[in-house]
Amino acid sequence: MADGGGALDLERDRVILALETSCDDTCAAVLTPGGAIAANVISSQGIHDRYGGVVPEVASRHHLELIGAVVDDALATAGTSFEQLELVAVTCGPGLVGALLVGLSTAKALAAAYRLPLAAIDHLHGHVAASLLEPNPFEPPFLSLIASGGHTLLARVTDPGPDFEVIGQTLDDAAGEAFDKGARLLGLGYPGGPALERLARDGDPSAFEFPIASKVQGLDFSFAGLKTALLYRVRDLGPDEVHRRRADLAASYQRAVVESLALRVERALAQTGSSRLAVGGGVAANGALRERLAKLGVTLDVPPRELCTDNAAMIASAARFVEPIRYPDYLALDVYATGERRLAA
């Protein structure tokens, strides 16, 4: 549940505590103001596997049960205490409203009890800011590809603050969702991305032709057609043939998702003249995507896996670059759902 603690100087260091509960991971992290991770605790609920996706109400209830222990664990791992905090940071959206409310309410209570300021963080700014963490901060300007189960976007990042420019996003499913839905059609469990990648290793990526939405102009992504193409292919082949050719189907499908992402990245690099690319979100764990992007010949930053998937260290990282809200002004703060407005800078 917990991972690495950095050595804190308890006499000197004032630290940031961050909470992230936008989906099904209950996360707390402790960060030094310089961007070194002292603790990054992630409790994955697991419970949603049986439903084939995240059930919002179940996620909220689990956050409520876990958040106290996860915060305690983060402070203990960092060897610090509430008295040592200088700032509490929390994800306010986009995400599942009930889930976000657990994190925000907890953050408000902690910050108010110690009269601390609070930093309200946009989840996507968090994903971008994962690249800014020590020990190898990737300095802006760069192009950022965020691909996860909930979002897929391309952003032009010119400074570390929340004002990055979104230049492309998905018109329908997110890339991770495309992996999950494809995996489901092939009879794999949830979340499907890692399982589909494993199966694809034994398959031929050119066995089947799947659409990569190359006709969608510009920098936006679309995965709905791809998912439907797999659905029809599975129906046409029939159960026995699908079973026999599962690995080929997985490899060909994965290739289509990867190509679809890489095509937009190539367009965006050409359009912005950038030669620096940061990748984040759960799909960044995909080996085929990493290999494909590594061939682009740009300076590439892919943070370690635990910083690509949802985590609170990235939220703490973003908090260093937003204006904190003073006590008690943040008590009226609200969350916002997926698809709603972003926080004003």
Chain positions contacting Zn ion, by CB under 5 A: 148, 310
Let me know: does 100 contact 19? Beta carbons within 8 Å: no
> CA-CA distance, 44 to 47, in Å (whole number)?
9
By beta-carbon proximity to ligand KG4, the closer residue of 167 and 199 is: 199
Ramachandran sector of residue 40 (left: φ over 0; alpha: ψ -120 to 50; beta: rest): beta
Helix (H, G, I), strand (E, B) or coil at 160: coil
> CA-CA distance, 151 to 14, in Å (whole number)?
33
Q: What's the min distance (Å) between Cβ of 248 and ligand KG4?
A: 17
Q: What's the min distance (Å) between Cβ of 54 and ligand KG4?
A: 8
Site for ligand KG4 in 149-208 (CB under 6 A): 149-150, 176-177, 179-180, 191-194, 197
Using CB under 6 A, which of the segments 31-39, 244-252, 283-291, 330-338 binds ligand KG4? 283-291
Task: Give the H/E segment covering residue 118.
Answer: strand 118-122
> CA-CA distance, 307 to 304, in Å (whole number)?
5
Residue of 281, 319, 324, 330 that binds ligand KG4 (CB under 6 A):
281
93 binds ligand KG4 (CB under 6 A): no
By beta-carbon proximity to ligand KG4, the closer residue of 54 and 268 is: 54
Q: Which string of x and - marks every residue 5-24 that binds ligand KG4 (by CB under 6 A)?
A: ------------------x-
Q: What's the min distance (Å) between Cβ of 288 and ligand KG4?
A: 8
Q: What's the min distance (Å) between Cβ of 148 and Zn ion?
A: 4
Sheet holding 37-44, edge to edge: 37-44, 25-31, 15-20, 85-93, 118-122
Instruction: Calculate ∠ Cα 64-69-74, nearest 5°.
Output: 120
309 interacts with, out of ligand KG4, Zn ion, none, CB within 5 to 8 A per kind = ligand KG4
5 interacts with, out of ligand KG4, Zn ion, none, CB within 5 to 8 A per kind = none
Cα 115 to its chain centre, rounded Å, is 30
93 interacts with, out of Zn ion, ligand KG4, none, CB within 5 to 8 A per kind = none
By beta-carbon proximity to ligand KG4, the closer residue of 140 and 193 is: 193
Residue of 283, 302, 307, 315 that binds ligand KG4 (CB under 6 A):
283
Let me know: does 151 contact 223? Beta carbons within 8 Å: no
Using CB under 6 A, which of the segments 59-67, 133-141, 243-251, 275-283 binds ligand KG4? 275-283
> CA-CA distance, 204 to 170, in Å (whole number)?
27
Nearest to 86 by CA among 119, 117, 120, 109: 117
Using CB under 6 A, which of the segments 12-20, 64-72, 81-89, 147-155 binds ligand KG4? 147-155
> CA-CA distance, 246 to 199, in Å (whole number)?
8
Residue of 256, 261, 278, 285 that binds ligand KG4 (CB under 6 A):
285
By beta-carbon proximity to Zn ion, the closer residue of 74 and 307 is: 307
> CA-CA distance, 322 to 130, in Å (whole number)?
15
* Positions in the binding site for ligand KG4 (CB under 6 A): 23, 148-150, 176-177, 179-180, 191-194, 197, 281-283, 285-286, 309-310
